A = this chain, B = another copy of it.
Amino acid sequence: MNLLLLTSDDFVSDSLVKLQGRQLQHVLGVHQAKVGDTLRVGLVNDRMGEGIITGLSADSLEMEVSLTEQPPEALPLTVLLALPRPKMLKRSLQHLTALGVKRIVLMNSYRVEKSFWQSPWLSEEKIHEQLVLGLEQARDTILPEVVQEKRFKPFVEDRLPAMVEGKRGLVAHPVGGNACPHQISDEVVLAIGPEGGFIPYEVEKLEEAGFERIHLGSRILRVETAVTAITSKLYD
């Protein structure tokens, strides 16, 4: 954790913060903080800054907080992710959040196992936990929006065209496209398939919605690696 992410509930006055629970345990355990120490903090969906610890006990921490910095710029990127298996979902959400993606759509695809949609990791609370971990890792405060689209066709036909309008749609697919471009300045909507990839019908439907195919060479990467690789190529 490189930043302690606070919510407005943590503030007992304009600049005084009182912590308990997970965050307190972390500050005590990992940072081995003591009174007088300065921690990097941020207010969720707001500014970042520093907090000076003014009081500390086993079950509560008080901090004088000053929030003066803007969070880092977001990537102009929406990621459509065919729902991965739970373990990879967790890591992918953390990676995407840490990289600065602010809009994530978890979508269905033929090769997504139906049971994945029943995963407890899809609850709002569990997704929120992964996003917070990503923000605290990267030193950011702006929570990504995560949408779940459990049916491929209505999503791609009815809602995707508006989402991609005025942007560049890219679908990662091993055959038939160009190599992933580097350092572009376009806003992008990027679709990443499940293990085994989108089926041809799905790629065609995405192409009908205006997407172009891109590939990463002959190596096959795991979803979480591919997500980071493509994002890193596209932007500085």
Contact = CB atoms under 8 A, between A and B. Distances in A.
Contact of A138 (B95, B221, B233, B236): B221
Interface string A94-113: 01001110000000000000
9 contacts: A2-B220, A98-B219, A99-B219, A137-B221, A138-B219, A228-B229, A228-B232, A232-B232, A233-B233
Contacts of A212: none
Contacts of A179: 236
A236 B221 contact: no
A179 to B, nearest CB: 6
Contacts of A219: 72, 98-100, 138-140
- Which 4 pairs show the lowest CB-CB distances between chains A and B? A229-B232, A138-B219, A232-B232, A228-B228
B225 A95 contact: yes
A91 to B, nearest CB: 9
Nearest to A220: B2
A234 to B, nearest CB: 10
Interface residues of A, number: 27
A83 to B, nearest CB: 19
Interface string A208-236: 00000000011111100100111111001
Contact of A98 (B99, B222, B230, B232): B222
A129 to B, nearest CB: 16
A60 to B, nearest CB: 27
A183 interface: yes
Contact of A139 (B2, B100, B183, B220): B220
A218 B222 CA distance: 26
A182 interface: yes
